[in-house]
């Protein structure tokens, strides 16, 4: 049953509940329990859909309501695509060339590990941290290794977020990778080496706006619409444990 119009709103105008950007993106991606969304914008987010409320005693994940009547555990990092901006600028290349260089290097970047806290970090909560490059030797210090270390470091921080959501017993069946940095083929390739889940890459789109449209249609019709989601790729899993193990070892430093 629809509620009466709020005070000040003319009769006959339907008012929907609204949603924040991540909750709206989850609707736009038709995320359901078992789906995890990893968004690679200026900052990074990892969020899942859970049918029950969750609480994280470590405060690694924030546990919000979503826009569908379920819940949205989320981990947010400050350093995502701008990590690639910084390293591409250092190497004097664009993002396409950064990706090409990265794929010239082996997984693990010859032991080079970038802890990418360029402007502090939110998860983990290290507001005064700075970025650190570990493992520099005469052999490892190459342009391809640095390019790959940038991508691996960015993704490892988000993979840690995925593990935090798993520890809450949120269902994790597949990861949908979105955001500007996800369009780089090297990022997709390395993501298949880093994330321990089925990986899907939706077509680039305005998923927050799409979620608002889903919510509007839902409010108008009383039913959640099921609109098809176009995928541009679903890379085969190619786990390379050396990437996460090297990163974890340096995180303890």
Annotated catalytic residues are 21
Q: Is 231 exposed, middle or buried (0-12, 13-18, 19+ CB in 10 A)?
A: exposed
Asked if residues 79 and 160 have their Cβ atoms less than 8 Å apart, the reply is no
CA dihedral (72, 75, 76, 81) in degrees, to 10, reads: -100
Cα atoms in the 13 Å half-sphere on the side-chain side of 132: 13
- Distance CA(106)–CA(189), nearest Å, equals 12
List beta partners, residue 123: none
Instruction: Give the span between the Cα atoms of 134 and 131, in whole angstroms.
Output: 10
C-alpha distances (whole Å) from 34 to each of 37, 125, 141, 197, 231 are: 10, 27, 40, 11, 17
CA 74 from centre of chain:
10
């Amino acid at each position: 049953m629809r509620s009466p119009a709020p005070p000040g709103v003319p009769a006959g105008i339907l008012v929907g509940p609204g949603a924040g950007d991540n909750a709206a993106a989850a609707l736009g991606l038709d995320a359901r329990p078992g789906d995890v969304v990893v968004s690679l914008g200026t900052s990074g987010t990892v969020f899942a859909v859970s049918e029950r409320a969750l609480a994280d005693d470590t405060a690694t994940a924030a546990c919000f309501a979503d826009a569908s009547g379920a819940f949205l555990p989320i981990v947010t990092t400050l350093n995502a695509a701008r990590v690639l901006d910084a390293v591409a600028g250092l190497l004097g290349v664009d993002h396409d060339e950064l990706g090409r260089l990265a794929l010239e290097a082996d997984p693990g970047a010859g032991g080079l590990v970038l802890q990418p806290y360029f402007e502090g970090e939110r998860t983990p909560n290290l507001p005064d941290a700075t970025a650190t490059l570990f493992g520099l030797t005469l052999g490892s210090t190459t342009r391809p290794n640095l390019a790959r270390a940038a991508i691996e470091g960015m993704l490892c921080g988000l993979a840690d977020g995925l593990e935090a959501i798993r520890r809450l017993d949120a269902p994790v069946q597949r990861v949908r990778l979105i955001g500007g940095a996800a369009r780089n083929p090297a990022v997709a390739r390395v993501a298949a080496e880093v994330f321990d889940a089925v990986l899907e890459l939706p077509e680039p789109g305005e998923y927050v706006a799409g979620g608002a449209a889903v919510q509007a249609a839902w409010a108008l019709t009383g039913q959640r619409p099921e609109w098809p989601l176009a995928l541009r790729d679903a890379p085969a899993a190619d786990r390379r444990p050396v990437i996460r193990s090297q990163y974890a070892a340096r995180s303890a430093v």
